[in-house]
Amino acid sequence: MSLALVYLARGASDGLSSVKEFFEAYRRYPADCAHELIVIIKGWAGLEGEAEVRQLSLAHNAKVIDLPDDGFDWGAYMRAASLLTHDWICFLNTHSRPRVKNWLDLLMKGTEVPGINVGAVGATASYESLISIFYWPSCIAFLLYIPRIFLNALRFAIYSRNAFRSFPNPHLRSNAFIVRRELFVDFAATHKIPRYKRDAWILESGRTGFTAFLASRGLKPLVAGADGKYYEPEQWIKSGTFRVPRQPNLLVEDNQTMIYDKAGSRNKRILEKNTWGRIFENVEMADARECP
């Protein structure tokens, strides 16, 4: 069995800092699972730091793949999968970085949970639906103070109503997940490289996206926790991995988990409501209650 750990090193949005933080975390938290590190380099035209990224990759014995700066994260994943020959691939986006030791081993072991036809194992997942955004409490403020943003959100929701399921819309997030390469190549063969952000959102959480593709094959997506347990979609809200107080069971963090950690209490409640349909009084999942 061979495993490729594919890290997307994109230059935009302060990419060099994110790349450095990834490699630091990669050293600090051993994967404890045999793999080949693959670094995708894209989006560095006109930016400083590409040489440093290549040096860091070389220092970690990584293979470098150069890709055009289009297609967002999903496009890079889809192109890279067709270039590799490994049995399995674990994808990490630019802002992702390990948070606990043996994180990759835990993801890999999730592919062999007895009694479950596992399609992919992720570090985080969500029930969020993008067509529900005009129900967000924050949109009331947008309507009153920033009407253009509210109208754009409402226009997106109407235009995309057939592309996404309504809440709850269980889906794996693309920040960190492991999948059999052949299966992901099949997924890529039936989908186009995204041109717009909406296209990328559809691949992640849409009716024809990756999680839906797994379901069409009779396969389940699981979330792996730092506790060594694996959570099926109906258990994700209790996994302690994403947008719950302290996110204590998280294997791989990213910009969205960090935004939640740094948010004030009011914004945390909004994010929890958007993601799970509930807010949390404390870290105990059993204490979740319906948001008034």
- Go through the domains of the chain in sequence order and give each one's CATH number: 3-127+168-241 (3.90.550.10)
Calculate mean pLDDT across residues 85-91.
98
3-state SS assignment for residue 8:
strand
Match 């059993």 to its residue by tokens.
286
Q: How far is CA 57 from CA 24, 72, 142, in A?
A: 12, 21, 43
Q: How many CB atoms lie within 10 A of CB 111?
A: 19
pLDDT for res 134? 45
Per-residue pLDDT tens digits for 240-277: 999 999 999 999 999 999 999 999 999 999 999 999 99
Distance CA 98, CA 251 (A): 6
- Contact of 108 with 88, CB cutoff 8 Å: yes
Per-residue pLDDT tens digits for 162-197: 889 989 999 999 999 999 999 999 999 999 999 999
pLDDT for res 33? 97
Calculate mean pLDDT across residues 87-104.
98
Reading the block at residue 110, the tokens are 């999730």
- Contact of 123 with 177, CB cutoff 8 Å: yes
- Contact of 64 with 54, CB cutoff 8 Å: yes
Q: Whole-prediction pTM value?
A: 0.89
Residue 158 has pLDDT above 80, yes or no: no
DSSP structure class, residue 9: E
Reading the block at residue 90, the tokens are 């674990």
Distance CA 23, CA 98 (A): 9
Reading the block at residue 168, the tokens are 């709850």
| pLDDT category of residue 284 using cuts at 50, 70 and 90 | very low
| pLDDT category of residue 216 using cuts at 50, 70 and 90 | very high
